[in-house]
Chain A
Amino acid sequence: MTALRETWIISLAALALAFSLVAIFFATTGNSPWEVFYTLYRGAFGSWFSWQNTLVRAAPLMLTALCTVLPARVGLIVIGGEGAVVVGGLCSALVGITLQDQSPVLVITAMVLTGAITGGMWIAAVGALRYFRNVNETISSLLLNYIAIAILNFLVIGILKDPATLNNPSTHSIGEQNMIGQIGDTSIHWGLAYGIIVCVMLWILCRRSTFGFAADVVGGNIRAARLAGLPVAKVLLWCCFLGGAAAGIAGVLEVAAVHGRANSALNAGYGYAGILVAFLARQNPLAVIPYAILLGGIQASGGLLQRAHDLPDATVNVIQGIIFMVILSSEMFYGRFKWLQAKN
């Protein structure tokens, strides 16, 4: 468990450094960093209202983070979460529209399955390109994001457009009765439960199951995996599929719990922010949950920051970008400090 201590200390130190850099950024805009941080805290975690906002945003982040986490177990750096969200959301919307007169339980089940399978196939394609054709998975997953967004825009402006949606071209609605509802009388939809359950399940899969062991062997040394006769291609493609499926479900939630239809809101950046969450969590599915909440909080406070301090729209992106750079740089400190090492 001492390895865990190293992770915690380095991550927290990196976050502290990142927030001091953010403070400098705030200062350059003419604001007092302390006041801005306090606003950020109020917007993210200051009240039950802001907590609800935060958690609504955290749910898709958990799922899109898994799209980077799972392929990372087999040594692939996949940044295609955005594309998988779009594909999963779009395809599930089509299923929802088609089945909308069936019972809501059936509609939701069909939509979640569709989103998971299509999102999964989308990222599995990245894995297949890597394994069979040796195409760099980071590049191909990034380019597939653009392809997915282009397909979405092409369809919602064209043949799938609901004529009633003039300003914001969208598909037809899946029907109010088929929407995933809120938890109790909060504004948090049940998507949060999906996110947490999927994170826990995949954590068990990675850490406790024989499949996770095989994935660690494939990711650690592919030659040893072949020596042991492990089905390398299968393990690799399944990891990609599961990651893509999680992101696909995030797309389903955006459609079935938030917008009720598929439109360009699907590529709102959850896929990219998920990459940041995955690296913050050091590719651990369980650690994804708190970091997704942290990032969700930063995003939730964006509006308040603008209004209270006259900060630009992109402030949230600047904060995320600074955190990402510092976290990536902090990777080089692992194994450097003796007092953090395991005492065996």
Chain B
Amino acid sequence: MKQESVILEAVNIGKTFGDVRALDTISLKLRAFTVHALLGENGAGKSTLVKCLMGYYRPDSGQILFNQKEEIIESPQRATRLGLGMVYQHFTLIPNMTIAENIVLSRADLPAVIDWDAEIKILQEKMAQMPFQFELRRLVRDLSVGEKQKVEITKQLLLDTKVLILDEPTSVLTPTEADEVLGKIHQLTQQQQLTVLMITHKFREVMKFADHVTVLRKGQFIGSAPVEDVNPQILSDMMVGGESLSKPPQRETLSDSKIKLNIDKLTVHNDQDLPVIQQLDLKVAQGEIVGIAGVSGNGQKQLVEVLSGQRSPQSGEIQAHGQNFLPHQNSIRQHKFFCLPEEPLKNACVGSLSVADNIVLHKFNEAPFAKWGLLRRGAIRRRAMELIQQYRVRTSGPDQPIAALSGGNVQRVVLARELAQDVSILVVSNPCFGLDFKAVADIRAQLLQARNRGAAILLLSEDLDEILEMSDRFYVISGGKLVHHTTPAQANMNTIGQYMAGH
């Protein structure tokens, strides 16, 4: 093994939020010019640890050493000056600014007057070396999740960051893209240009791209080792500590396959009033999962928005059980038609309201949660406690504002809300984005159970593996059109790749 100096070291870091011990004497050694993977389940403390390193939180105890020298990282600006950069799970780009503006803005030495033409020219030259290319004058709000992720990574690469922290970097990328990004990053470390700390739950990425791995569980340090010394089985045992995973339920074939969801000649425009979905026809029958695969930004976001009532279609019809469907509370209840959009905190929750209030979002005005138009807080809290336990949501209690929960736990709350009720039609978008493999197994098992109970499920995902594992049949979407239809059994990866790429 080559001689490696430790560039960043965390010693016995402890952090408590309220009664929750988020980190309990965690230590971590990051060797220069390596990729270090930080593994752990939801709420294991990975995000908290890196936020301490980045100066967003002050640890209650412990020290942080940078180049063997103790540093008090009291603010993110301090971290930036030291050369620490991070790509967050919740993106930190400013939606109303262009890509170029976002990148220039995050630079430490911003001049009073910015010569945009010159800046863009410099950026374009530098970008030629980067794994991703963008039209720099596009607005960030028009980008899909996957594209935003790529901009975030590129931004850090362009900022001359020495230590790059990646929080679930590949959760929205296709496997090919993920390999491309991580390959590029790995290459940069080998060229002695970058040191990387990567939060992940994907063993494949750890084994393929990381040099070292550290495992956390429930705020505790479990172990740390060079990747050569571990295998996925060891890692999995370290992560879950012997707890067993949800087994995927058997697929049951239903004899009667009525069409439950029928989308007829749907045309949808985006915020700029340009067509992003054109004349889309789609049928989902009882007891089947229909997948829609595709690179993000091909109309999936707008399709989910239309189905969840957040956007009006330009033309076309949506029918549930053969009747015209308008997303009003009564028809939602009548048809048991529910949606799990991506980025649940932004699309499906009220951040300022409590976990309990968010859990009863669909049912707050019916018995037993309301009587004579008045809320029954007791019943609401009891229901919330039940679901918090059943779906193992990590929260300090049903009264905690949902915005204070970690990403994975917000997703669990929304899942609990939608799946704990009788579901007939379900639209799901990237349900496993940013979740660890145990949560993913849970969620997939839940979806399959709903399918077996006869629900019609439309699954949109940018993760092709997810589509192949989950769907009974699937389409590929490109440019707002369904361009290919096949089943996982007959799927030819080469053909699918070409359709996804728009050929």
Do A226 and B350 have beta carbons less than 8 Å apart?
no
A209 / chain B contacts, CB cutoff of 8 Å: 373-375
Do B400 and A344 have beta carbons less than 8 Å apart?
yes
Do B400 and A223 have beta carbons less than 8 Å apart?
no
Pick from B310, B341, B350, B365: contact of A210, CB below 8 A: B365
Do B373 and A226 have beta carbons less than 8 Å apart?
no
Binary interface profile of B, 326-364, with partner A (CB < 8 Å = 1, else 0)? 011111100000010100001111111100010001101
Q: Count how many chain B residues have C-beta atoms less than 8 Å from C-beta atoms of the other chain.
A: 34
Please tell me if B135 contacts chain A, counting CB pairs below 8 Å. Answer: no
Interface of B is mostly: loop
Please tell me if B309 contacts chain A, counting CB pairs below 8 Å. Answer: yes
In the complex, A318→B310 CA distance in Å?
A: 46
Do B396 and A344 have beta carbons less than 8 Å apart?
yes
Do B329 and A228 have beta carbons less than 8 Å apart?
yes
Q: Within the complex, what minimum Cβ distance (angstroms) separates B122 from chain A?
A: 37
Please tell me if B71 contacts chain A, counting CB pairs below 8 Å. Answer: no
Please tell me if A184 contacts chain B, counting CB pairs below 8 Å. Answer: no
Q: Within the complex, what minimum Cβ distance (angstroms) separates B409 from chain A?
A: 14
Per the 8 Å Cβ criterion, residues 292-344 of A in contact with B are: 343-344
Please tell me if B102 contacts chain A, counting CB pairs below 8 Å. Answer: no
Binary interface profile of A, 206-224, with partner B (CB < 8 Å = 1, else 0)? 0011111110110011011
In the complex, A287→B477 CA distance in Å?
A: 54
Q: Within the complex, what minimum Cβ distance (angstroms) separates B20 from chain A?
A: 9
Please tell me if A229 contacts chain B, counting CB pairs below 8 Å. Answer: yes
Do B348 and A227 have beta carbons less than 8 Å apart?
yes
Q: Within the complex, what minimum Cβ distance (angstroms) separates A217 from chain B?
A: 5
User: Other CB < 8 Å A-B pairs besides A213-B357, A226-B309, A227-B309, 16 of them?
Assistant: A209-B373, A209-B374, A210-B370, A214-B365, A216-B350, A220-B350, A220-B351, A221-B346, A221-B350, A224-B349, A224-B350, A226-B308, A227-B310, A227-B341, A227-B361, A229-B330
What are 19 A-to-B residue pairs whose CB atoms are below 8 Å? A210-B365, A212-B375, A213-B357, A216-B357, A220-B352, A220-B353, A221-B351, A223-B310, A224-B349, A224-B361, A225-B350, A227-B308, A227-B310, A227-B348, A228-B332, A229-B327, A229-B331, A344-B396, A344-B397
Please tell me if A113 contacts chain B, counting CB pairs below 8 Å. Answer: no
In the complex, A223→B327 CA distance in Å?
A: 12
B18 / chain A contacts, CB cutoff of 8 Å: 343-344
Do A344 and B399 have beta carbons less than 8 Å apart?
yes
- Shortest beta-carbon contacts, A-B, top 4: A220-B350, A229-B329, A210-B365, A344-B396
In the complex, A217→B362 CA distance in Å?
A: 11
Q: Within the complex, what minimum Cβ distance (angstroms) separates A42 from chain B?
A: 42
In the complex, A209→B373 CA distance in Å?
A: 6
Do B397 and A213 have beta carbons less than 8 Å apart?
no
Do A217 and B374 have beta carbons less than 8 Å apart?
no
Please tell me if A230 contacts chain B, counting CB pairs below 8 Å. Answer: yes
A224 / chain B contacts, CB cutoff of 8 Å: 347-350, 361
Pick from B310, B351, B374: contact of A226, CB below 8 A: B310
Please tell me if A231 contacts chain B, counting CB pairs below 8 Å. Answer: yes
In the complex, A85→B321 CA distance in Å?
A: 50
A213 / chain B contacts, CB cutoff of 8 Å: 357, 364-365, 375
A231 / chain B contacts, CB cutoff of 8 Å: 328-329
Please tell me if B19 contacts chain A, counting CB pairs below 8 Å. Answer: yes
B364 / chain A contacts, CB cutoff of 8 Å: 210, 213-214
Do A228 and B310 have beta carbons less than 8 Å apart?
no
A223 / chain B contacts, CB cutoff of 8 Å: 310, 346-348
A208 / chain B contacts, CB cutoff of 8 Å: 374-375
In the complex, A271→B339 CA distance in Å?
A: 43
Q: Within the complex, what minimum Cβ distance (angstroms) separates A289 from chain B?
A: 21
Do B399 and A217 have beta carbons less than 8 Å apart?
no
Binary interface profile of A, 188-211, with partner B (CB < 8 Å = 1, else 0)? 000000000000000010001111
A225 / chain B contacts, CB cutoff of 8 Å: 350
In this complex, what residue of A is CB-closest to B352? A220
In this complex, what residue of A is CB-closest to B370? A210
